[in-house]
Structure 1
Amino acid sequence: MYSNILVALSLEHGISEPALAAARALLSEGGKITAAHIHEPPNRQIMYYMDEGIAEKSLEKAKASLAERLKDEAEVSSVLIESQSAGRAITEYANKHGIDCIVLASHKPGMKDF
């Protein structure tokens, strides 16, 4: 059993319940679950061609989506991490915050994933 679990969620792929259920099953009594979404900011070269403020709007939309996704999960805290590398961001967060288990949510790939 684990006392500090990080559940990495993708806001673009809907379902988070199975990942959160897996985390609950692995959680020791008195432990905590943190749900994280890694928000990838637009590439700097692309930012030149985008409207001003679009990166901030994208971040705010991600924050709202994460809050909406977890609105019925009172015992789950959340964190939104900005990074160009999801894997690196997850492991760095885990190391910094004493995470002893990481649960990765999965999705069925669509055509755009291939």
Structure 2
Amino acid sequence: MREHLDYQQSIQEFKGFVSFRSKVALWLSAVVLLCYYVFVLSIGLFPDILGYRLGPSSITLGIMFGIFLIVLCITVTGLYTFFANQYFDKRQDEILQDLEQSGALEDLKNGKKY
């Protein structure tokens, strides 16, 4: 009975981990997509505002918002990479070792459903 409990506990832990990792990726993607679509919508609805020049230069609010989007995408990618390297990969290895020790990993590879 103890071995079966380890099976279920290891599998539930893995499912929870995958769910958490997916939620982080979805939230970061949602932030980028929301900002991108706000930018595209504002081009269509408020072109005069995005065309407003900043000082005597040819730089406009639209250019600044575009640069912000590029920096945002780089930052979000860096955040996810940092989390993946510092937490996700290590935690995944730990959980997979637990699954292997309990024997559940072999069952999952053979197609057993839990």
TM-score, reference length from structure 1:
0.32
More helix by share: 2
Highest CA radius of gyration, 1 or 2?
2
